[in-house]
Amino acid sequence: MRWHHSAGLIFGIVTATWICSGLLSMDPWDWHPGTAPTREQRARVAGGSIAISDLTVEKLRKVMTAFAPDHPKEMEITRFRGRYYAVAKSGVVSFDEPQFGALDQLAPDLIVGAANIAMDGVPIEGVSWLDDYDAYYYDRDRNLSLPVLRVRYADPQQTWLYFDPKRGAIARKEERLTRLNRWLYHGFHSLDFPFLYYRRPLWDVVVIVLSAGGIVLSATTLTASWRRVRRSIASVKRS
């Protein structure tokens, strides 16, 4: 009981938050939306759907030539603000101007213009170019594209959109509830806090210590419970 009492005082709150945050992985009552952009947002930024008839063999040949000398083995055809682009690891090529070759990314004014039309009639509160990840658009392996344009809108959901100039698309959507879920679930359940997850092995040490404390708390709980059950059984047998 002394061990259980001490472990509860030290690790009880962490264990409780870990259990409660784990329940959020089941998305109870659909309490928060997803982080993918809506169909309407994608359609506004694209400026129309992709038509196969627009992608002639001649145009594709010119686009492939524009990637020279680094011909891609795989490329993605996207539509951005009504124009077609070919996206590969080596850059972006416009179907309308393939003679200019592959660009590292689309022009910043094109991306800002897309931000203005992505949310119909909703004013913009702030615009920031991010050369590094923030607390919501991030990747531990640093595989997510950078830079991105983060745009904050003044709608009731407090929407943030992240625009990727290397793909000509909305990379991520964040709302007030998704940002809250990021801290309640990913933060408290996986200890996914910026001051920890970029500092290995500090994150590993903290997780191991807290996990060991949770094991001690659980084991001492089972021990005390079993002793209580055993006394109850013995009392029933005597009666």
Average pLDDT over residues 187-208: 86
Query: Per-residue confidence at 62, pLDDT binned at 50, 70, 90?
Result: very high
**% of residues, the chain, pLDDT over 70:** 100
Buried b (16+ CB within 10 A) or exposed e, 71-99: ebeebeebbbbebbbbbbeebbbbbeebe
Q: Quote the pLDDT of residue 70.
A: 78
CB atoms within 10 A of CB 113: 13
Q: Quote the pLDDT of residue 12.
A: 78
Tell me the average pLDDT of the chain.
89
pTM of the model: 0.82
CB contact set of 175 (below 8 Å; sequence gap of 6+): 32, 33, 157, 158, 159, 160
Digit-coded pLDDT (tens) for 108-133: 999 999 999 999 889 999 999 999 99
Q: Work out the angle at residue 181's Cα, subtended by the Cα atoms of residues 180 and 186, and round it to the nearest 5 degrees.
A: 120
Least confident of 4-18, 91-105, 207-221: 4-18
Whether pLDDT at 221 is above 90? no
Whether pLDDT at 171 is above 90? yes
Whether pLDDT at 207 is above 80? yes
Highest average pLDDT, of 6-10, 161-165, 180-184, 235-239, comes from 161-165
